[in-house]
Amino acid sequence: MRKLSIHYIILPALAIWAVGCKKFVENGDVNINPNASSNATLVTLLPTVIEATGDNQYRVAFATTNFAQQTAAYSAGFIDFDRNNDVRVEAFTYIYGTGLTNAKILMDLANTRNAPYYAAIGKIMTVINLSMATDLYGDVPYSDAFKAPAVIYPKYDRQEDIYTMMQQYLDEAIIQAQTPAVAGVEVPGRDDLIYNGRMFRWAQAASFLKARLYMHLTKKGAVTASNNALSVLPNAFKPATNDSSELQLIYNTRNLNPWNANIAKRVETGNFFLAPSRRFVETVNGGIYGGVLVDPRISKLMDKRSSPAYVGMPNGLGTGGSVDITQSTYYGRDAAPMQFATYAEQKLLEAEARFLAAGGTTNGSSTDTGSTQEAYDAYLAGITAHMNKLGIDEASKNAYLTHPLIAVTPAKLTMSDIMKEKQIALYLHPEAWVDVRRYDYRASIFKGMALPANQAASMGGQFIRRSGLPNDEVSRNPNSKASVKPLAEKVWWDQ
């Protein structure tokens, strides 16, 4: 898929997040580019929103993969994140300034022009951006946002209310995506950088996102959350011989994947920021299995370069690893996709939901085994889908899938089995940290999980549960004060 060359569009009435001076916001005269047209079109807005959302997912994952212990920071990089020291992920500014702002403009314009397909995509992109924001910070603005100059200081909505709104947006998007085409109404085509205007794919993606959001609520009732997820999954992604149905933005050699531009290329020049963590590497190098089962995906996920073995960097230490995310890895390539949602994640989420719906518990104990054939089949299908995506050869794939430590049978399936594979399929994805928090960082589920070395004393020996708001937001919006919480305090769905 060819990705267009585009620029961000932020219209003045809505760009309240990028300025700190009240009088300019009151005048509505902010962030104006004199060289750009102030009349945005659907065709220019749609790729802008999609690209901004990909960039925002990278920004969030850059921090949260440390917290999920998929990656660890070099000392020369953002070691404070890894050590949980005064964490304030700056993605907030970008999520609102480029993702949500442009999605709001897209939806408003689509409604004005009676273009339901564009409105549907705008709502789906809004949910992706807003879910990243609320899962990262807790309560965040939305219902009162984007109303400058009438509203300069938007209120913060409760996360519980945001979740209700996101589900409503997805329901509306599914209906709009399935609306019969009408002659003369604008429809997306090449400006849709993901599905090229195939709206039935957008409806499937929205159904999966509904299931994902339902599963975020397992602590509010695991069986209810699981049954809700299972009720919408039949309308989500379908099995395919390729990944064309998945919700992902594919880059190219001109428009580089952010992991390539910001991490992999910099490794080659000695600018090190993140590397695969010791815990994650031992998940795939055989370490947690005593060295008897090496995952054939390992060389696709990390590069040991000239080192004799795959050794991950301990979280919080800033040194001690031998592997990196380079341009020879799947996710570090220039044209690697930014995966918003995949079929592999869907099947492993289904396995988790079926396990819980059948009475399985969330403690991860070795005695908490057994589930349905459907859960077991979904577990194996999720592994298969991810291996197919990474291009693992048939012999290696079959050897892994039939190994006794993987082919455990339905009677021996555990939540640890499912979540281990889900963490691999969600490598470098913000959703990985959501799962880790939902299961309380349990080492019985996430093998090797422990507090990072040199963790900030302010954490009180607790795992990180949220990011602090950026200082700019706290200083300019007085309504943010009530949402400033300790980093170890759980967000609503985590309680």
Q: How far apart are CA 134 and CA 467, in angstroms?
A: 10
Q: How far apart are CA 279 and CA 57, in angstroms?
A: 23
- Strand-pairing partners, residue 140, are 157
Q: How far apart are CA 94 and CA 82, in angstroms?
A: 21
| Amino acid 30: pLDDT | 38
308: its two tokens: 């004799």
User: What is the pLDDT tens value at each position of the chain, 495 positions in all?
Assistant: 333 333 333 333 333 333 223 322 333 343 444 444 557 899 999 999 999 999 999 999 999 999 999 999 999 878 999 999 999 999 999 999 999 999 999 999 999 999 999 999 999 999 999 999 999 999 999 999 999 899 999 999 999 999 999 999 999 999 999 999 899 999 999 999 999 999 999 999 999 999 999 999 999 999 999 999 999 999 999 987 566 799 999 999 999 999 999 999 999 999 999 999 999 999 999 998 888 899 999 999 999 988 999 999 999 999 999 999 999 999 999 999 999 999 999 999 999 999 999 998 777 665 677 889 999 999 999 999 999 999 999 999 999 999 999 999 999 999 999 999 999 999 999 999 999 999 999 999 999 999 999 999 999 999 999 999 999 999 999 999 999 999 999 999 999
| Amino acid 289: pLDDT | 82
Tell me the CA end-to-end span of the chain in Å, nearest whole number. Answer: 41
Q: How far apart are CA 178 and CA 201, in angstroms?
A: 10
| Amino acid 153: pLDDT | 96
| Amino acid 495: pLDDT | 97
Estimate to the nearest angstrom the gap between the alpha carbon of 11 and the chain centroid. Answer: 26
Find out whether 277 and 315 touch, Cβ atoms under 8 Å.
yes
Rg of the chain over CA atoms, in angstroms?
Answer: 22
What residues contact 290, with CB distance under 8 A and at least 6 apart? Answer: none
| Amino acid 125: pLDDT | 98
The three-state secondary structure class of 28 is coil
337: its two tokens: 């996709």
Q: Which residue in the block uniquely carries the two structure tokens 């060295």?
A: 291
Q: How far apart are CA 343 and CA 385, in angstroms?
A: 7
3-state DSSP of 357-407: HCCCCCCCCCCCCCCCHHHHHHHHHHHHHHHHHHCCCHHHHHHHHCCCCCC
157-163-168-172 Cα dihedral, nearest 10 degrees: 100
The three-state secondary structure class of 36 is coil
Q: Which residue in the block uniquely carries the two structure tokens 């802008």?
A: 48
431: its two tokens: 């959703």
Q: Which residue ranges does the chain devote to CATH 1.25.40.390?
A: 12-197+460-486
Which residue type, as a one-letter code, is found at position 334?
D
The three-state secondary structure class of 219 is helix
| Amino acid 62: pLDDT | 97
**Dihedral sign from CA coordinates of 233, 424, 334, 388:** negative
What distances in angstroms separate CA 470 from CA 33, 99, 360, one per listed residue?
25, 17, 39
* Residue 268 burial class via C-beta count within 10 angstroms: exposed 0-12, middle 13-18, buried 19 and up: exposed
| Amino acid 27: pLDDT | 39
| Amino acid 371: pLDDT | 87
**pLDDT tens string 436-488:** 999 999 999 999 999 999 999 999 999 999 999 999 999 999 999 999 999 99
The DSSP code for 482 is: G
Class of domain 12-197+460-486: mainly alpha
| Amino acid 231: pLDDT | 98
Look up the pTM and report it.
Answer: 0.92
> Which backbone phi and psi does 154 adopt, to 5 degrees?
-65, 145
Estimate to the nearest angstrom the gap between the alpha carbon of 330 and the chain centroid. Answer: 17
| Amino acid 243: pLDDT | 65
**pLDDT tens string 77-111:** 789 999 999 999 999 999 999 999 999 999 999 99
Closest residue by Cα to residue 66 from 318, 267, 418: 318
The DSSP code for 84 is: T
| Amino acid 454: pLDDT | 98
Q: What number of residues does the chain have?
A: 495
Q: Which residue ranges does the chain devote to CATH 1.20.120?
A: 341-438
Class of domain 341-438: mainly alpha
